[in-house]
Amino acid sequence: MHGKRSLRFLRKAVWIFSFILAPALLTAGCKDADLPDAETQEAYQTELFAMDTYMTFTAYGDNAQPALTDVADKIRELESRWSVTDEASEIYAVNHSRQGADVSRETAELVTFALDMAEKTRGALEPTIYPVLDAWGFTTEENRVPAEKEIRQLLKSVGHERVSVDENHIILEDGMMIDLGAVGKGYAGRIAAEILKGQGITSALLDIGGNIQTVGSKPDGSDWRLGIQSPFGEGSLGILEVSDKAVVTSGNYERYFIGDDGRRYGHIIDPSTGYPADNGLASVTVIAEDGRLCDALSTSLFVMGTEKAADYWQNHTGFEMILITEGGEIYLTDGADGRFSINTDSEAGVHIIQRET
């Protein structure tokens, strides 16, 4: 699994077990009329490749098919606005104009959100990390270990506090680049859920490259059952039960390369050093209503490491998390405990992080 080719696409972080329980589901875009409504509503499924990842959307109910088409259209639109490499994108315009560029309100809002989260996480989320990421080859898959001096130099072009957003106009300082890669997919889940709910859908499961956004519960009213992937190989570590929530995982096992020195270098960069985060965490899963928040947090809590991530949770409400360390220990926050059942064959130690009062 170490070859560059195999790393091109993110490995799925979350497996969906709900398929087993929803027999009406598997035919893409067409309903199984033989199944009685009361038992399982009609299911529709759409697949697309966007934002450099595979997405599978499943929605239930009469209006599900046109609603999913709207979702797919919306996500393609977001991709074309936020691509760092597409010369026609809004982010490209911002990154390549010294005078800055006008962007849509939606883009300005997500950039503002990312900057706000950068502030809250003290720069663990760093939307301007792109030049460093590029030097490591994570933007092209031509990976290399940059020289220390090169990293030091590039870090001068990194700093969310130097991005200025004036309504819809965004200006960066010379040499800087902004990238919404750490929050875009989470936002896509959130907006997809909004579109579906706006069209009367009360039950849907959106898989965005392994990150999950659920709408409501399963058609039978029970929670969705999501398998949380072990960061150490194939297979799931346990099952998380949720309704109406997003579940987003970050980890350096998803996309990495092995250097000539035999070391493993992952795609999540610690902005304080310019090197891949390497603090003993293997993966972070965040559970919250807002997929955008989940995405921002899973990346930044991964950068922080176990202790700082636990501190962050102590000081902020509105999300729960599952931390898995390189040593196989599992840390669950209070609200995730009881919703996450660990596979019985797992030998990992489990620790519950309680709210300090």
Name the H helices within 269-305. 291-304
- 299 near Mg ion, judged by CB under 5 A: yes
Residues contributing to the site for ligand AMP (CB under 6 A): 125-127, 129, 133, 138, 179, 181-182, 250, 267-269, 271, 295, 298-299, 303
The β-bridge relationship of strands 330-333 and 14-16 is unpaired
Q: In the structure encoding, which two tokens stand for residue 244, read together?
A: 């109406």
From the list Mg ion, ligand AMP, none, pick the one residue 282 interacts with, judged by a Cβ distance below 5 to 8 Å according to partner type.
Answer: none
Q: How far apart are the first and last CA of the chain?
A: 45
Minimum Å gap between C-beta 13 and ligand AMP is 9
Phi first, then psi, for residue 79 (nearest 5°) are -60, -40
Minimum Å gap between C-beta 140 and Mg ion is 20
Name the closest residue to Mg ion (Cβ).
Answer: 299
Minimum Å gap between C-beta 188 and ligand AMP is 11
Taking the least distance from each CB to ligand AMP, the nearer of 90 and 295 is: 295
- 325 near Mg ion, judged by CB under 5 A: no
Compute the distance between CA of residue 336 and CA of residue 245 in angstroms, rounded to an integer: 12
User: What is the x/- site pattern for Mg ion, positions 161-190, by CB under 5 A?
Assistant: ---------------------x--------
Minimum Å gap between C-beta 52 and Mg ion is 13
Phi first, then psi, for residue 164 (nearest 5°) are -115, 130
Phi first, then psi, for residue 82 (nearest 5°) are -105, 0
User: What is the x/- site pattern for Mg ion, positions 258-297, by CB under 5 A?
Assistant: -------------------------------------x--
Minimum Å gap between C-beta 230 and ligand AMP is 17
Q: In the structure encoding, which two tokens stand for residue 163, read together?
A: 């991005």
DSSP annotation string for 230-298? PTTSSSEEEEEEESS-EEEEE-TTSSEEE-TTS-EEES-EETTTTEE--SSEEEEEEEES-HHHHHHHH
Phi first, then psi, for residue 224 (nearest 5°) are -70, 145
Q: Are 297 and 316 in contact (CB under 8 A)?
A: no
Minimum Å gap between C-beta 250 and Mg ion is 5
From the list ligand AMP, Mg ion, none, pick the one residue 303 interacts with, judged by a Cβ distance below 5 to 8 Å according to partner type.
Answer: ligand AMP
From the list ligand AMP, Mg ion, none, pick the one residue 267 interacts with, judged by a Cβ distance below 5 to 8 Å according to partner type.
Answer: ligand AMP
